[in-house]
Amino acid sequence: MNLKPLFAILILIVAGCANSQENENPSDETTQMNNFTGASGEVKLMTLDPGHFHAALVQKFMYDQVDSVVHVYAPEGEDLQMHLNRIESFNNREDNPTHWVQEVYTGPDFFEKMMEEQPGNVVVLSGNNAKKTEYIKTSVEAGLNVLADKPMVIKPSDYPALKSALATAQEKGVLLYDIMTERYEISTMLQKALSQQASVFGELEKGTPDDPAISKISVHHFFKYVSGSPLIRPAWFFDTEQQGEGIVDVSTHLVDLILWECFPEEVIDTANTEVVSARRWPTKLTPSQFNKVTNLEEYPDYLQKDIEDDSVLNTYSNGEFVFTVRGVHGKVSVIWNFEAPEGAMDTHYSMMRGSLANLVIRQDEPQNYKPALYVEPTAAVTDQGDFEQKLKAALDELNEEYPGLSMKKADKGWEVEIPEEYKVGHEAHFSQVTEKYLQYLKEGELPEWEMANMIAKYYITMQAYEKSRTEVQ
């Protein structure tokens, strides 16, 4: 039998047509669908309004547990077409092609139609964030599982709805989970692992507002390449009312990493957190830059509020704040530039300060813009030779899980040499998160610490959002 037609995207445009095959009892079917066993094809995806390329990256690879037919509900337009084109490129690539079949509904009532039909049991959300919290809450209340890109909330006024959705998910036995890809970056994984080696790291410092115990700085670029092609962003991406400000967007990843690294698998209560300081500032884009990244000749009306001097677009994509968790000070900083220098990419800096050593990730020109992990002894270490042996022993232990790790001397200590096979790249991390989510579906629940820390991290970003408006900038 020739299966090649499956490699093409099947688009069924049913805009506005009545569905003649209605569910007689959707609630009973939903209950049945949530009894996951890990069987082939039992997870059926519904992709809702995929306006961000992360939605496609969830489908960059196939999964045995996931049915090849994906139901897409979205308004007709460029966002949808770019999503479908990305999936088609995955289907048609020479190396390890996928075979997704996309069944698409584009009526203006796309969300209501999805809720009515419910042809799947997992909603994938990655796009315009203006209604994301509402989509999450309504989907969960209907007994649907949700895998959502960050951020799940962009305004403090919507935080109660997200918190309610998380509680409802537990009550109904469905899984609401956000896509925390940065946990799967190998230098970050090893930074966490080495911080748990007391002979090398010592104890995590408490830090101060001016000298935090853990700092994470993330630099991104509006114009870049994804899967080898220039990334064309929708105009709404530059509207903080729809995308969210930088202080609540990418910072979600950074807060998540701080909780995940400093308090591994520990339940964090919001009562034990406090935002100490916060600030925000805009990235300024010229009309030509806006055109390059959106292919649009003019600013849409909804961006006019952010225009200065008749032409420059102010986007509040940058944010920085310091917060504490159980007395430990953490700092996150998110910066968006228009375009990276020649040969450069998005970068990440991270430092964990221990009593015996600092664990530092650098990703700048000396590192060829690739993350590199350094172990730098503090003044408390008086015998460098002894410390070197302890570090070697710690890496030998980690080699059981990550074979091939080694070390070499660096200016301030040692660099951990990581085999290339572990450096799979940002796009591949989406499949790793999805695999973890599928595992949780099979287990029937999220760990308690995952649930609590989702509440905590969004509580922190919402507090930072509010504080950035009350402090003198």
pLDDT of residue 8: 42
**Residue range(s) in the chain whose domain bears CATH number 3.30.360.10:** 183-425+451-470
Beta bridge partners of 57: none
CA–CA dist 415, 462 (Å, integer)? 36
Residue 212: asked if its preceding bond is cis (omega within 30°), the reply is no
The amino acid that residue 194 corresponds to is L
CA–CA dist 447, 428 (Å, integer)? 24
Number of Cβ within 10 Å of residue 382's Cβ equals: 8
pLDDT of residue 177: 98
pLDDT of residue 184: 97
pLDDT of residue 34: 67
Q: Contact at 8 Å (CB) between 372 and 415?
A: yes
Confidence (pTM): 0.90
* Total count of residues recorded for the chain: 473
pLDDT of residue 226: 73
Domain formed by 4-15+29-178, architecture: 3-Layer(aba) Sandwich (3.40)
Instruction: Work out the widest C-alpha separation in the chain, in whole angstroms.
Output: 77
**Residue range(s) in the chain whose domain bears CATH number 3.40.50.720:** 4-15+29-178
pLDDT of residue 369: 86
CA–CA dist 134, 115 (Å, integer)? 13
What is the CATH code for 183-425+451-470? Answer: 3.30.360.10
pLDDT of residue 341: 77
Mean pLDDT in consecutive groups of 10 residues from the start of the chain, 473 residues: 42 41 40 76 97 94 98 96 96 97 97 98 96 97 97 97 96 97 97 98 98 96 83 92 95 98 98 98 96 95 94 96 98 95 84 98 91 97 97 97 97 97 93 98 96 97 96 58
pLDDT of residue 10: 42
pLDDT of residue 162: 97
Q: Contact at 8 Å (CB) between 467 and 321?
A: yes
